[in-house]
């Protein structure tokens, strides 16, 4: 498949399936606030970097990492220290 | 199933289901639509996608996301697939999948890149290549509901033979004064072509758009460079960045 890194950048909307396994409801329509720049927007409008081990979601305004999902043989890690809050 | 009780209802787990191919439509030399029967399909919203999973005999899994092309009002769920040379999943779907075959699917997924006739304001759709697919679900839904939401589609294809849903779009636009369809052909134009030539540019985007004061809902779908370019130009033209919803095509990494 694509080798070009820009081909791997998608919209947060494309992470809905992956995030749905963590959050019971569709989180891509929730408002999320970036801890680095304080801008707020729907989760579906973040930048998704779809890596082979999971997903990295970045703020489209400041490029700060807001959510990371990593699948390992021992479980699924979800980290969101770059996120200030979520509003449902 | 109606649009209102579909898909985004909270608390529902996403589970793999079996989809069976009921019909196949050849849309262009590189694009096919698969009409699927999915038991217990709980309905979807126009713009949503599904994940599909293929399992090889050795147990190897490949998973991809595909946009839904059908309206919620249609009986079968339609996926329109472009054959990507060197791809892992699409050549199989394109070349091997036959009537009656089954595969695993889960969805519908995603509540962000979604439009229904209940939304207020005109609808501005911009598609690059197979980026038309989720936008077609919106157009089909709009037509089935007979709600005359002012709608503009700006659709970029390589050549006339690469225009997906060409006849259906022509027919829709012909009998609907509130729907304006504009094509641009980037690589090859037939003799006497009256539409745009070349890539979507600032002038095309400004011309197809509704007035900035109209509170239009804008959806852009296509390959990443297309979506980046279009959304940047729209913002330069004064569109509200938060009112532009984008969906880039590419591998999902799972």
The CATH number of whichever domain residue B239 belongs to comes to 3.40.50.80
CA distances to B56, B131, B217 from B123, in Å:
42, 16, 5
Place of tokens 């329109």: B80
Residues paired with residue B98 on neighbouring β-strands, in sequence order? none
The answer to whether residues B99 and B169 belong to one domain is: no
pLDDT, residue B10, reads: 47
Q: What 8-state DSSP symbol labels residue A29?
A: G
Count of domains observed in chain A = 1
DSSP structural state of residue A64: -
Contact residues on chain B for A58, CB-CB shorter than 8 A:
none
E strands present in B95-166: 102-109, 123-128, 151-157
Q: Which two tokens stand for residue B62?
A: 């490949």
Same-domain status, B141 and B61: no
Average pLDDT value for residue range A68-86: 92
**Chain A: nearest CA to B192, how far in angstroms?**
35
Residue B49: closest CA among chain A residues belongs to which residue? Answer: A14
Q: Which of B74, B109, B144 is the last residue of a domain?
A: B109
> Domain for residue B5, yes or no?
no
Q: Give me the number of domains chain B comprises.
A: 2
Q: Is residue B146 part of a domain?
A: yes
Q: Is residue B90 part of a domain?
A: yes
Residues 6+ apart with CB under 8 A from A11: A44, A45, A46, A47, A48, B112, B113, B227, B246, B247, B248
Q: What is the pLDDT of residue B94?
A: 86
Of B7, B87, B85, B93, nearest in space to B46 by CA = B7
- pLDDT at position B171 is 97
CATH value at residue B28: 2.40.30.10
Residue A7: pLDDT band (50, 70, 90) is low
Say whether both B104 and B136 belong to one domain: no
- Using an 8 Å CB-CB cutoff, list chain A residues near B110: 13-14, 16-17, 26, 28, 44
Tell me whether strands B151-157 and B179-185 are parallel, antiparallel or unpaired.
Answer: parallel
Rounded Cα distance, B97 and B24, in Å: 9
Q: Which residue has the tokens 């936008």?
A: B135
Domain that holds residue A51: 5-87
Q: Tokens 């970036």 — which residue?
A: A34
Q: Do residues A19 and B254 make contact, with C-beta atoms less than 8 angstroms apart?
A: no
Residues of A in contact with B245 (CB under 8 A): 13, 44-45
Confidence (pTM): 0.87
Tell me, yes or no, whether B144 lies in a domain: yes
pLDDT band at A18 (very low <50, low <70, confident <90, very high): confident
Neighbouring-strand partners of residue B105: B17, B52
CB contact under 8 A, B111 and A29: yes
Q: Would B202 be classed as within a structural domain?
A: yes
Rg of chain A, C-alpha, whole Å: 12
**Cis bond upstream, residue B173 (ω within 30):** no
Domain shared by B186 and B154, yes or no: yes
Taking contacts as CB-CB distances below 8 angstroms, the residues of chain B near A14 are: 49, 65, 110, 247-248, 252
On whether any CB of chain B is under 8 Å from the CB of A22, the answer is no
Regarding whether B104 and B127 lie in a shared domain, the answer is no
Cα(B143)–Cα(B138) distance, rounded to whole angstroms? 9
Q: Which of B14, B113, B224 sits opposite A21 (nearest CB)?
A: B14
Contact B251 A51 (CB under 8 A): no
Phi, psi of A5 (to 5 degrees): -60, -35
Alpha carbon distance A85, A40 (integer Å): 9
Q: Do the Cβ atoms of B250 and A43 come within 8 Å?
A: no
Rounded CA gap, B182 and B66, in Å?
A: 25
Answer yes or no: do A13 and B250 touch at CB < 8 A. no
Q: Of the candidates B54, B75, B109, which is a domain's last residue?
A: B109
Q: What is the reported pLDDT for A69?
A: 93
Let me know whether B143 and B92 are in one domain. no
Range of the domain at B80: 17-109
The first and second tokens of residue A62, run together, are 């400041």
What tens-digit pLDDT sequence spans chain B (254 residues)?
Answer: 344 444 444 456 788 999 999 999 999 999 999 999 998 898 999 999 999 998 888 888 888 899 999 999 999 999 999 988 888 888 888 888 999 999 999 999 999 999 999 999 999 999 999 999 999 999 999 999 999 999 999 999 999 999 999 999 999 999 999 999 999 999 999 999 999 999 999 999 999 999 999 999 999 999 989 999 999 999 999 999 989 999 998 543 32
In terms of domains, do B70 and B146 share one? no
Q: Which of B8, B88, B252 is the closest to A50 by Cβ?
A: B252
| Residue closest to B193 by CA, chosen among B182, B179, B203 | B182
């Amino acid at each position: 498949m694509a080798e070009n890194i820009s081909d791997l950048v998608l919209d947060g909307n494309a992470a809905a399936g992956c995030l749905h396994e963590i959050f019971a409801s569709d989180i891509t329509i929730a408002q999320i606030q970036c801890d680095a720049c304080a801008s707020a927007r729907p989760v579906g409008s973040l930048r998704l970097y779809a890596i082979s081990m999971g997903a990295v979601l970045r703020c489209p305004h400041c490029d700060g990492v807001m959510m990371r999902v990593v699948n390992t043989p021992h479980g699924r890690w979800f980290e969101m220290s770059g996120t200030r809050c979520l509003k449902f | 199933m109606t649009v209102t009780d579909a898909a985004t209802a909270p608390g529902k787990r996403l589970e793999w289901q079996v989809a069976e191919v009921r019909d196949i439509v050849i849309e262009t030399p590189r694009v096919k639509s698969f009409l699927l029967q999915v038991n217990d399909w709980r309905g979807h919203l126009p713009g949503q996608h599904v994940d599909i999973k293929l399992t090889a005999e050795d147990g190897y899994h490949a998973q991809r996301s595909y946009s839904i092309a059908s309206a919620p009002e249609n009986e079968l769920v339609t996926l329109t697939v472009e054959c990507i040379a060197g791809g892992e999943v699409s050549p199989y779907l394109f070349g091997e999948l036959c009537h009656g075959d089954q595969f695993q699917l889960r969805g519908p997924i995603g509540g962000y890149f979604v439009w229904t006739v209940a939304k207020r304001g005109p609808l501005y759709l911009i598609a690059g290549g197979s980026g038309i697919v989720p936008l077609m679900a919106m157009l089909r839904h709009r037509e089935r509901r007979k709600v005359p939401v002012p709608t503009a589609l700006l659709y970029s294809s390589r050549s006339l033979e690469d225009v997906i849903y060409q006849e259906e779009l022509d027919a829709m636009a012909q009998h609907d004064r509130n729907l304006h369809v504009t094509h641009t052909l980037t690589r090859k134009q037939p003799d006497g072509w009256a539409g745009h030539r070349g890539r979507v540019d600032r002038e095309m985007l400004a011309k197809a758009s509704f007035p900035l004061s109209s509170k239009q809902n804008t959806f852009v779908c296509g390959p990443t460079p297309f979506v980046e370019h279009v959304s940047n130009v729209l913002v330069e033209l004064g569109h509200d960045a938060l009112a532009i919803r984008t969906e880039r095509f590419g591998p999902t990494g799972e």
